[in-house]
Amino acid sequence: MSKKVHIFDTTLRDGEQVPGCKLVTKEKLIIAEQLDLMGVDVLEAGFPISSPGDFKSVEEISKLVKNATVCGLSRAVKKDIKCAAEALTYAKRPRIHTGIGTSDSHIRAKFNSTREKILERAVAAVKYAKSFVEDVEFYAEDAGRTDNEYLARIVEAAIKAGATVVNIPDTTGYCLPHEYGAKIQYLVEHVKGIHKVHISAHCHNDLGLATANSIAAVEHGATQVECTLNGIGERAGNTSLEEVVMIINHRKKGEFYTDIKTPMLKGMSELVSTKMGVVVQANKAIVGDNAFAHSSGIHQDGVIKSRETYEIINPKDVGVDFSSIVLTARSGRSAIAYRAKHLGHNLSKVQLDLIYPHFLSVADSKKEVNNEDLLKIIKTVVLAKAA
Ligand code: KIV
Ligand code: ZN
């Protein structure tokens, strides 16, 4: 039976940690409403203690969201947890996300503490959060670099204290996919009670492996993936929501599924990019402007004959209207004929042969031959000859 992978969107919290990308509450509400409509299971709305603005955003999002669980972040600190609980007062399904650094580097350098004391703080934080809400997610920050035996101990203690979800962040994007997958498997095999809770993958993209690591986690037992639209986030970003969802839909069909309405992906990507002022790279998987654009003659010829020759995803499935055939100096006659037909000209082979050298000379002088250029060539070469 196909297993559901829960999508935890953190565009408005971890995603918003991109330098210079602060959103005001009004903008967050627009994005949150669409995320809820798109079908995310959990929406991390912010870090309420961090500023009055963030508190207000979490509170307003809690009032607005109809279906998703609304989550607020906190450190393992009482005043943070209480503040998160207050900001979530109006949520239909509130979740407090609390936790602490668990790697030796965090324990020593950040907290000047010991493993035992950190474990006690984790347990106290989960218990305190549990006094406000039923749904408590515990994060073991820098779990990617945390010794597995200690990680299993602290995760088990958090579950015993009442955690409903255990988040295993690769905070620094350090792990390789086989290592992160093995870490999740280790927890599945060694933590008492883990089968009663969700295991969450939260990966950063410092080595470009966030998506691969998240998928490895799912393959080894994670039931929730934390991600952002366009993969935005601290430093090199977080796992990209659109990539994880389309990998699950496309390559893991029958084994796993998500509830995301994928035709909303392109529009959501544009919305987040516009509101946050972060441009999406053209070659970004799934949502980049070139994700379904073909410019070399060989590929264009294939796609015109059958889309599947060079596309593994139907663009309509992610909200892109059509595959685009970009006319450049690498294009062949079939691409010219294809575009000309869309412009109302059914060109014969002889006409195409006539046009081709003119097309190439225009194409060599600019990056892309547009409709206007092509019509001009057809008019001067074909129609003039016929006159
Ligand atoms: O990357 C990380 O460890 C985080 C936690 C606060 C969940 O974002
Ligand atoms: Zn993070």
Neighbours of 11 (CB within 10 A): 29
Nearest Cα residue to 143 out of 111, 191, 109, 175: 175
Distance 202 CA to ligand 2 centre (A): 6
Using the mean position of ligand 1's atoms as its centre, give its distance from the Cα of residue 127 in Å: 20
- Tell the residue number behind the tokens 């920050």, with chain if given: 141
pLDDT exceeds cutoff 80 at 214: yes
Q: How far, in Å, from the CA of 171 to the mean position of ligand 1?
A: 6
Distance 87 CA to ligand 2 centre (A): 21
Cα atoms found within 13 Å of the Cα of residue 258, Cβ hemisphere only: 31
User: Greater confidence, 224 or 386?
Assistant: 224
Per-residue model confidence (pLDDT) at position 67: 98
Distance CA 278, CA 327 (A): 28
Of all ligands present, the nearest one to the C-alpha of 47 is 1
Residue nearest to atom 2 of ligand 1 (CA): 171
- What does the pLDDT look like over 116-166, one tens digit per residue? 999 999 999 999 999 999 999 999 999 999 999 999 999 999 999 999 999
Answer positive or negative: Cα dihedral of 237, 238, 242, 248.
positive
- Cα 87 from Cα 55, distance rounded (Å): 6
Mean pLDDT, residues 196-209 taken together: 98
Backbone angles phi, psi at 188, to 5 degrees: -60, -40
Q: Whose CA is nearest to atom 6 of ligand 1?
A: 141
Residue that is written with structure tokens 């070659």 in the block: 283
Q: Percent of the chain at pLDDT above 70? A: 99
Nearest atom in ligand 1 to the alpha carbon of residue 97 is 7
Tens of pLDDT along 330-380? 999 999 999 999 999 999 999 999 999 999 999 999 989 999 999 999 999
Distance (angstroms) between ligand 1 centre and the Cα of 337 equals: 52
Residues contacting 256, CB < 8 A, separation 6+ = 2, 3, 4, 5, 218, 248
Best of 17, 204, 239 for a ligand 1 pocket test (most atoms within 8 Å of beta carbon):
204
Question: Given ligand 1 and candidates 9, 97, 155, 171, which is best to mutate, with the most ligand atoms within 8 Å of its CB?
Answer: 171
In the predicted structure, residue 306 carries a pLDDT above the cut 80: yes
3-state secondary structure the chain: CCEECEEEECCCCCHHHCCCCCCCHHHHHHHHHHHHHHCCCEEEEECHHHCHHHHHHHHHHHHHCCCCEEEEEEECCHHHHHHHHHHCCCCCCEEEEEEEECCHHHHHHHCCCCHHHHHHHHHHHHHHHHCCCCEEEEEEECHHHCCHHHHHHHHHHHHHHCCCEEEEEECCCCCCHHHHHHHHHHHHHHCCCHHHCEEEEEEECCCCCHHHHHHHHHHCCCCEEEEEHHHCCCCCCECEHHHHHHHHHHHCCCCEECCCCHHHHHHHHHHHHHHHCCCCCCCCCCCCCCCCEECCHHHHHHHHHCHHHCCCCCHHHHCCCCCEECCCCCCCHHHHHHHHHHCCCCCCHHHHHHHHHHHHHHHHHCCCCCHHHHHHHHHHHHHHHHC
pLDDT at 387: 65
How far apart (Å, rounded) are the C-alpha atoms in residues 371 and 373? Answer: 5
Q: Which atom of ligand 1 is nearest to the CA of 139?
A: 7
Which is the closest atom of ligand 1 to the Cα of 238? 1
pLDDT tens-digit series, residues 4-52:
999 999 999 999 989 888 899 999 999 999 999 999 999 999 999 999 9
Segment 61-71, tens digit of pLDDT: 999 999 999 99
Atom of ligand 1 nearest to the CA of 169: 3
Q: Enter the pTM of the model.
A: 0.95
Can you list the domains of the chain with their CATH numbers? 3-276 (3.20.20.70), 293-386 (no CATH)
- Among the bound ligands, name the one nearest to the CA of residue 101: 1
> CB within 6 Å of ligand 1 — which residues?
14, 139, 141, 167, 169, 171, 202, 204
Model confidence at 84, in pLDDT bands (50, 70, 90)? very high
